[in-house]
Structure 1
């Protein structure tokens, strides 16, 4: 099957990037502005208008970097920033960043607009102007070499490491061979596999980054006295974090790892990349990061992923703002039971219905359809979840600094 010449239409941004969606992103800059922002998005009432925001009133560099990365995301065509009027994150800053990226933008304070009802009316008027500009965005051909795909797993069972994550790994190998870009995360699910992970480094710099990131993740798990394994994983047939880790890392495939990305960093060249989303030393506290699947998805999307894969053996129904979530399960029973939510049944390979190569090509074809505008099941159902917590992570770190000395 020849997929190398397959193309689809994408939205060409003024900065030269291409998006597979043309979103109006309504951003609230503090929890006090969330109701008005959500009402604006709800009253606009189309699938390409989404709302995200940061609830905190005080400064958090991680959250601000993530918001900026989402503004710059190629799937976003316009931004409306909604603030209350006394928070740290200023909506005007965000609108100016969007404008510098060549995207239609506007902003306002609810306090200055006159309250809830007048704020909603003002927001709707500003949004209408942005939507008119979105309709003018030109289309351009796009192919696999221009795609950035992210992957994580949630609700894993024994089939995740046998089929669900496996097909993603095979697809990642194929995508990077085609010139595309793949990002995987969940370094806390690589426990016991440091030698294997570092052995795939593309060069010495990448090896140093991988080694540091692994040690930091292990230190984080020890500092919060919790590893990334749950009762649901045990009920699904997994026995230890090491067993879960072997299945989780398979989704990265077999190709060399080009390096480690921090949240909000975009890959500088095609290939396979690891996303580090764990807090940095001195800030390793479970309550600080409060991880969940949607936090992981937003972290991946902040790195420019056009589409994210969510591999789930036991089942998950979430979607995401900004980028479509394609849900894959290695458990055919889960697929049949949750057929309205699951996009891809990788469990067929375990039942002998297809080969691994056939399954990989099917996933590649479905990815192209989604990139070309077909809605995922989550999108069709209206799932637009997001989660942006307080977290402390430096944009750049010295990978020569021992992690353990920082965590005492």
Structure 2
């Protein structure tokens, strides 16, 4: 397999992208950020941010993790000036990571027009500098890959999700880090997952994480099941859970992560995205983009996205590789898809074939190739309020 080439970071990680982030620290600065990024349409300059003005440890931790992600080369922070976000703390974390960072405060520089000009000037100069930096070789063992499913139908659990699981097993065997999540869509599978725990302490923690999700959704009065799932042939959350579970493959589960945490070593990890305590922050994941961003916050270089009905979203920071489970959907929406797992239903490929293709496509992303969503300009981003996650969930292997 041809080696990947990546940008080295101060903390030892490597990035398969070298994005300049333009980050708003309150919704009032969002427009300015969009205008700063507007002259740079090639995808190497992307807008992210936290919209809330009320303090949020979760938002602070997530922005710190995202702004120091291995795929990020530099960050332009944009503040209105009166929000509660700790912009100095975030800027220092970025600076300590070895990345160029600039802070613009709209109220101090003279308003919208002045802020846009200052931001564009800095981004243009900094982008030229970071793209000229030399790249180094990167091994498959250094990859961090996340997986989710969205727009699921009855084919998702038969083709796309198990093929993603095959890819995960192959990657874990190579020493890579693989992260799956959606505990709200793993209800009923918790004891099966617990049997795959790498150590005894992890077993009850896996069960507890899914039980917490079930109670949270019950309190909200609505689970992670959409009208589109039913129209696509799924009957219950349990049936949907079986498909979601298949994405994890068969490897031992090495630990549980929380958003903005990075895994201590290679292996398979479960990402627990449901807040602790009573449900005071709304639904844990209001859409697929929010889930993708939390996977990326854990360092995912790319995300495998399995869809049956057909999803079009990509993401800021990391490429999203679309695996289409339904052959009819692939025919209709091939321009948005990267891998046709529906070939399994038609007898044109095995799950092993598709899993191998997924791994090959992920490696190609580190060789300069782009996903369909990148080519189409998708760079969706959602970050909402959520309770702060503990720094260590206590489930890592010794």
TM bin, normalised by shorter chain, reads over 0.9
Q: Is 1:378 aligned with 2:352? A: no
Shift in CA distance, 147/163, structure 1 to aligned 2, threshold 3 Å: same
Shift in CA distance, 16/397, structure 1 to aligned 2, threshold 3 Å: closer
> 1:130 and 1:393 mapped to 2: Cα distance?
33
Shift in CA distance, 296/158, structure 1 to aligned 2, threshold 3 Å: same
For residue 83 of structure 1, what is the aligned residue in structure 2? 79
Q: 2:257 touches 2:393 (CA, 8 Å); kept in 1?
A: no
Q: 1:12 touches 1:137 (CA, 8 Å); kept in 2?
A: no
Q: 2:281 touches 2:386 (CA, 8 Å); kept in 1?
A: no
Per-residue deviation, residues 275-302 of structure 1 (Å, max 9, x unmatched)? 01111113x1463646210000000000
For residue 146 of structure 2, what is the aligned residue in structure 1? 150
Shift in CA distance, 203/227, structure 1 to aligned 2, threshold 3 Å: same
Q: 2:178 aligns with which of 167, 179, 182?
A: 182
1:397 is displaced (CA, Å) by: 7.3
Shift in CA distance, 221/263, structure 1 to aligned 2, threshold 3 Å: same
Q: Is 1:299 aligned with 2:309? A: no
Q: Is 1:358 aligned with 2:372? A: no
For structure 2, the 5+ residue unaligned runs are none
Q: Helix, strand or coil: the match of 1:70?
A: helix
Aligned pairs for 1:55-204 (under 5 A) are 55-204=51-200
Per-residue deviation, residues 57-80 of structure 1 (Å, max 9, x unmatched)? 111111111100001110000011
Per-residue deviation, residues 240-269 of structure 1 (Å, max 9, x unmatched)? 111110111000001110111000000101
Q: 2:258 touches 2:393 (CA, 8 Å); kept in 1?
A: no
Q: 2:290 touches 2:383 (CA, 8 Å); kept in 1?
A: yes
> 2:283 and 2:346 mapped to 1: Cα distance?
43
Q: Is 1:309 aligned with 2:304? A: yes
Per-residue deviation, residues 150-198 of structure 1 (Å, max 9, x unmatched)? 0000110011000010100001011101111100000111111221011
Q: 1:80 touches 1:95 (CA, 8 Å); kept in 2?
A: no
1:15 is displaced (CA, Å) by: 2.2
Per-residue deviation, residues 204-244 of structure 1 (Å, max 9, x unmatched)? 12213212211211111111111111111111111111111
Q: Is 1:340 aligned with 2:328? A: no
Q: Is 1:257 aligned with 2:253? A: yes
> 2:315 and 2:230 mapped to 1: Cα distance?
27
Q: 2:153 touches 2:229 (CA, 8 Å); kept in 1?
A: yes
For residue 327 of structure 1, what is the aligned residue in structure 2? 322
For residue 219 of structure 1, what is the aligned residue in structure 2? 215
Q: 1:278 touches 1:393 (CA, 8 Å); kept in 2?
A: no
Q: Helix, strand or coil: the match of 1:358?
A: helix
Per-residue deviation, residues 306-349 of structure 1 (Å, max 9, x unmatched)? 00011110000001000000111110110110111111110101
Shift in CA distance, 189/357, structure 1 to aligned 2, threshold 3 Å: same
Q: Is 1:390 aligned with 2:379? A: no
For residue 47 of structure 1, what is the aligned residue in structure 2? 43
Q: Helix, strand or coil: the match of 2:334?
A: coil
For structure 1, the 5+ residue unaligned runs are 401-408
Per-residue deviation, residues 48-105 of structure 1 (Å, max 9, x unmatched)? 0001011101111111111000011100000110000000113333222111000111
Per-residue deviation, residues 130-154 of structure 1 (Å, max 9, x unmatched)? 2133134221111211111000001
- Aligned residues between the structures: 395
- TM-score normalised by structure 2 residue count: 0.96
Shift in CA distance, 365/394, structure 1 to aligned 2, threshold 3 Å: closer
Q: CA RMSD in A?
A: 1.5
Q: Helix, strand or coil: the match of 1:309?
A: strand
Q: Is 1:246 aligned with 2:258? A: no
Q: Helix, strand or coil: the match of 2:230?
A: helix
Q: 2:142 touches 2:176 (CA, 8 Å); kept in 1?
A: yes
Shift in CA distance, 80/163, structure 1 to aligned 2, threshold 3 Å: same
The range that moved more, 348-357 or 168-177, is: 348-357
